[in-house]
Amino acid sequence: MSHSHDEDPACAAAHGDVRPEETGRRTLVAVFASPVADHLLRFGVELGFRPILLEPDPDRGLGGLPAGSVTVVREVGGHLDGTADVVVTDHHRTEIGPILRDVLSGPARWIGIMGSPRHEGPHVRALTELGVPPEEIARVHRPIGLNIGSRTPAEIAVATLAGLIADRNGRPGGFAH
- Would you state the pLDDT for residue 12? 67
Average pLDDT over residues 38-57: 93
- Would you state the pLDDT for residue 171? 85
Average pLDDT over residues 68-75: 85
Write down the pTM of the prediction: 0.84
> What are the distances in angstroms from CA 92 to CA 32, 106, 132?
10, 23, 19
Neighbours of 163 (CB within 10 A): 25
